[in-house]
Structure 1
Amino acid sequence: MTANGSNGSTIGDIGEFGLIDQVREQIGHNRHILIGSGDDAAHISTNDGSYVVSTDLLVEGRHFRRDWSTANDVGRKAAASNLSDINAMGGVATALTVGFGAPADLPVEWALEMVRGFEQECGRVGAHIVGGDVTASDSIIIAVTAMGDAPRPVRRSGAVAGDVVAVNGDLGLAAAGFATLSRGFRSPKAAVEAHRVPHPPYAAGPQAARAGATAMTDISDGLVADLGHIAVASGVAIDIDSSALVIPEAVATVGEALGRRAIDFVLAGGDSYALVATFGAEGGLPPGWTRIGEVAEGAGVTVDGEVYDGPTGHQHFR
């Protein structure tokens, strides 16, 4: 066995979250860390207040393709995926730093148009780029750190039995768009555009926090997978009522065209950056939120009381 107890396993063997678990065992803690690793963003105290912070990566060929998306699309998607993490904590992003790796032959205009798209998306919440770094790379890599304010950070670990589960935002469109583009098609437009540029419900995160949400996360890997993070962190079971889920028309069209169940895009499709949260049963839901399930004692996520037999959502390294 190796010194760190990994027994010679590879990252592919243990997966993204297995790696994160082992990394968390190696890192320390101090009095300024109010919320550390394990949520959508960390919460850090300062001498004059506090802030939430999160980092995300987009890699060419894995998260975007230049023949599918414009530079403006890529910039907006890079910003949205990071602004969404702050939103998922019930906060609002204020500033971002960007690390940018690119081949030497990348046109300057492509990079500048990406920045314009980035700033365009940031403008939806009033944030701006405040710095970063540039380096040479064989392919385009965009590393973003987002910082913001969250008066009442909502963690993944606060759900309790009896809570209701609710979503805000469209589910399945981005995944259907990816499936469409992968087959060489460019329609339906609503699905393809959702893959190119997500539309997180930025107002809904702070709204949920003010309404007393007990747990919350954004949907980047898939509804079942991301609810699984809440279930594990909170030590509860969660059941989804599939009849309460809205299947967008474009998702139904893609499902029929590709011979796939439309509900699988909704349950397991990632990159939507919608929000899913739990709320106390007595308080009601804020406007725009749709009840889709409930929290109970136990463990794991089920659909209509049964173990979900479809795809489990996106997993890096798998």
Structure 2
Amino acid sequence: MGADPTGIVVGLGLPAEAATEWLDDLTDGFRDECDLVGASVVGGDITRCDLVVIGVTALGDLGGRAPVTRSGARPGDAVAVAGRLGHAAAGLALLDGGLSEPAELIDAHRRPRPPYARGPEAAALGATSMLDVSDGLLQDLGHLAKAGGIGIVLAPENFAVPAPLEEAARLLGADPLEWVLTGGDDHALAATFPEDVRLPSGWTVVGRVTEGEGVQVRGRKLEHGGWDHFRK
């Protein structure tokens, strides 16, 4: 929503026999990720549980700005993305195929690297709507379209497909653009901006907001294209 990260609160449920070494690694992971943005673990709770359950609440400071929600996109706005797209999905496909290369895609699946700084940057630039891409770009842009009562038209030729994705697609006989458009777990950012805003490097314009509804690619309106936890 455009806030600067300040801290996280962690709720942890653990079996009594949980390994100490695993807990040390978990704690180190929270610390290392918080260090990337100058935040820290500021509290939480722990309880005994039959399963390992972890709940994290992230806190941030808007600095007096209004939050950037999903619902503010307007026809004519540019649709832009920041961060990696399709890398985690390609890494998972490689693992499912019994492959270990390209290694950077395997790493991307195992540890996402969200573009944290781009959220506050987008807010300062006047982003009209924004969300993270966790369930696939098409699916998550669909949330922006629904919340704002608008349509989105994507230009596939604007998406850069890096060499590791091309290589993974060759090995698996897949279409790398499908990973880019529908793959989740990269935790990139997608935002809409007034058309006259000049975006800095790190943001790529991939489409436009239009009148209408839903998300279109090459003239096709797509209802699905990502992970939906409750879809039958």
Rounded to whole Å, the distance in 1 between the matches of 2:88 and 2:172 is 15
Within 2, Cα distance between the matches of 1:256 and 1:308?
Answer: 26
Contact 1:211–1:286 (8 Å) recurs in 2? no
Identity of aligned residues (%): 48
What is the rounded CA distance, in whole Å, between the counterparts of 1:121 and 1:243 in structure 2? 33
Structure-2 residue corresponding to 1:274: 188
What does the per-residue CA deviation read over 1:262-286, in whole Å, with 9 as the maximum and x for residues that have no partner? 1110000001111111111112223
1:13-52 equivalences under 5 Å are none
- Matched with 2:24 is 112
Tell me which of 10, 29, 41 is aligned to 1:98: 10
If the length of structure 2 is used for normalisation, what is the TM-score?
Answer: 0.93
Choose between structure 1 and 2 for higher RCO, CA contacts under 8 A separated by at least 6 residues: 2
* Amino acid across the alignment from 1:171: L
Alignment size in residue pairs: 229
Structure 2's unaligned 5+ residue stretches are none
> Contact 2:138–2:225 (CA<8 Å) still a contact in 1?
yes
Q: Name the counterpart of 1:216.
A: 130
1:145 matched residue in structure 2:
57
In 2, Cα distance between equivalents of 1:184 and 1:287: 36
Task: Verify the 8 A CA contact 2:134 2:187 in the aligned structure 1.
Answer: yes
Q: Deviations over 1:94-123 (max 9, x none)?
A: 111111223333311111111111110100
Structure 1 runs, 4 residues or longer, greater than 6 Å off: none
Instruction: Name the structure 1 match of 2:75.
Output: 161
Measured against aligned partners, the alpha-carbon deviations of 1:17-48 in whole angstroms (never above 9, x if no partner) come to xxxxxxxxxxxxxxxxxxxxxxxxxxxxxxxx
Deviations 1:130-149 (A, max 9, x none): 12122333432211011111
CA distance in 2, matches of 1:124, 1:157: 29
User: RMSD of aligned C-alpha atoms?
Assistant: 1.6
TM-score with structure 1 setting the length: 0.69
Q: Is this contact kept in 2: 1:159–1:236, CA < 8 A?
A: yes
Change (3 A) 1:155 1:302: same
Instruction: Output the amino acid matched with 2:225.
Output: T
Corresponding residue to 2:173 among 221, 246, 259: 259
State the Cα distance separating 1:312 from its structure 2 match: 1.3
**Shift in Å, 1:288:** 1.8
1:128 aligns to 2:36 (yes or no): no
Unaligned runs of 5+ in 1: 1-88
Point out the more displaced range, 115-124 or 244-253: 244-253
Q: How far did residue 186 of structure 1 move?
A: 2.4
Alpha-carbon offset, residue 171 of structure 1: 0.5
User: SS of the residue aligned with 1:93?
Assistant: strand
